[in-house]
Amino acid sequence: MKCKCLGRYATWVCRAVLAGSLLMAPMVTENFVTASNASTSVTTADEADAIVKEAKAIVAQPGTFYTLYVGMPHSDFRANFSNLPGWEVSHYDDYKGSLAKKNITRWKYERVLPVKNSFIKQELYIGQLYNGPVYYMGVTFVTSDKATASKIYKEMYMVLKSRYPKFEEIFPYGMDKNRGESSYIEIEPKVLLNLSYYKDFKKPTLYNISYGITGEIAYNLY
């Protein structure tokens, strides 16, 4: 089956499986600020376990994490994602040089958490139409500690495997050898989900676990 290009964040879609309804706001139980404050001060001997639990919580509810979902209004997004302690924030309005058919804004939230003698960098990516709804949200954990990386991946994988019947078929368990051709599963019409575990391209000593949900097709961006 030929792969389909979806843009910067959702790079390639090779397979998709239908499993839901279009752009319905999922039930959200925790504000991002609350979740951020609760886990920024992880400094105990159970650092790694606390971060693994947070990763599992991110996939706990279908189609949402940190209050985000495809179709989230601009006003709600900004209300929940302003003045976040412990996070570095950057964004740019992608008017020129983008393949997108519409004006978009991209956001990146980043923090570094200590783990044993290493660290975990957590990166949160959000894409929205300019002053409009959210169309993409993704989170990446980056660490040099392979054991912690494997635990994060396993916890997230098992939750998604139990939720989506064909998840294991589309995403065979284990590290991706060719991240450039990631598979996606359709969790709602025109809303796709991906989970990948891979070594960093530029720094092979770093392990990456990336989880993303995109509605680029729903908004006809590419």
Is 220 part of a structural domain of the chain?
no
Question: Per residue in 152-202, pLDDT tens?
Answer: 999 999 999 999 999 999 999 999 876 645 789 999 999 999 999 999 888
Task: Give domain status of residue 219, yes or no.
Answer: no
Half-sphere exposure of residue 123: CA atoms within 13 angstroms, side-chain side? 15
96 within some domain: yes
Task: Answer whether residue 222 is part of any domain.
Answer: no
DSSP string, 100-136: -SS-EEEEEEEEEEEETTEEEEEEEEEEEETTS-EEE
DSSP state of 179: G
Q: Range of 207's domain?
A: 4-214
Q: Is the pTM of this model over 0.85?
A: no
pLDDT value at 49 more than 60 = yes
Residue 167 lies inside a defined structural domain of this protein: yes
Total domains in the fold of the chain: 1
For 8-32, how does the pLDDT look when each residue is reduced to its tens digit (9 = 90+)? Answer: 333 323 323 223 222 333 333 344 4
Decide if 77 is inside a domain.
yes
